[in-house]
Amino acid sequence: MSQVATKRRTQAERSASMRARLLDATLDCLQDLGYARTSTPEIARRAGVSRGAQLHHFPTKAELVTSAVDYVFTQRREQFLRAFRERVDGGDPAEVAIDILWSMISGPTFHAWLELTVAARTDKELRGPVAALTDRLREIVERTFRELFPAPATPNPFFDVAPRFAFALLDGLALERMQAPRAESEAAVIDALKALAKLVMPRTP
């Protein structure tokens, strides 16, 4: 009985490991090659798995690339929450949250997400999955924000749009960095966002 259970756990662990390798390889391809040049055979090659194994876990390219972004975003959310909880005492929660968020958005994950959103505009197979993923990511962002910053005692309409506003602004800043990085300009925009955040986001313990 225990041997069967052990075999099942081992098989599940191997399956999870294979999926993780495929998803990591997908993100690498999106960053290195862009969506158009990313192919499932290339992903399988980079992941070190057979083409049949890749098709078993992810039958289509659209499913694979959207799953990869969902996978890394979920991981980043956990990293964000852990970093926020481990912040140095005395740091303003809004400022800390924005700094952590910017460090996450301005990296490879953003590049992969940008590739998908642009490709989905004209790719019918990708459009539906990306729309569903966008809704899921938005829900995760909203939930994370509510967990960290409870609503103020006095109703504030800006508080309701704060997470979407912050992400939209930082997304735009990350896009600008890809084309013409300007450190001083970035810092000024982020400082302005922090100042606005303090007006609408109550301090947490």
Q: Between vectors from CA 121 to CA 119 and to CA 36, what angle results, nearest 5°? A: 15
What integer pLDDT is reported at residue 8 of this predicted model? Answer: 56
Measured in residues, the chain has a length of 205
DSSP H helical segments within 34-156, as ranges? 40-47, 51-57, 61-85, 93-105, 108-120, 124-148
Average pLDDT estimate for 81-98? 79
Domain boundaries along the sequence of the chain:
60-200
Highest mean pLDDT among 37-46, 71-80, 142-151: 37-46
Domain 60-200 = CATH 1.20.120? no
How confident is the prediction for the chain on average, in pLDDT? Answer: 84
Average pLDDT estimate for 54-75? 90
The residue that leads in pLDDT, 125 or 108, is: 125
CB atoms < 10 A from the CB of 94, how many? 24
- Contact predicate 133/69, CB 8 Å: yes
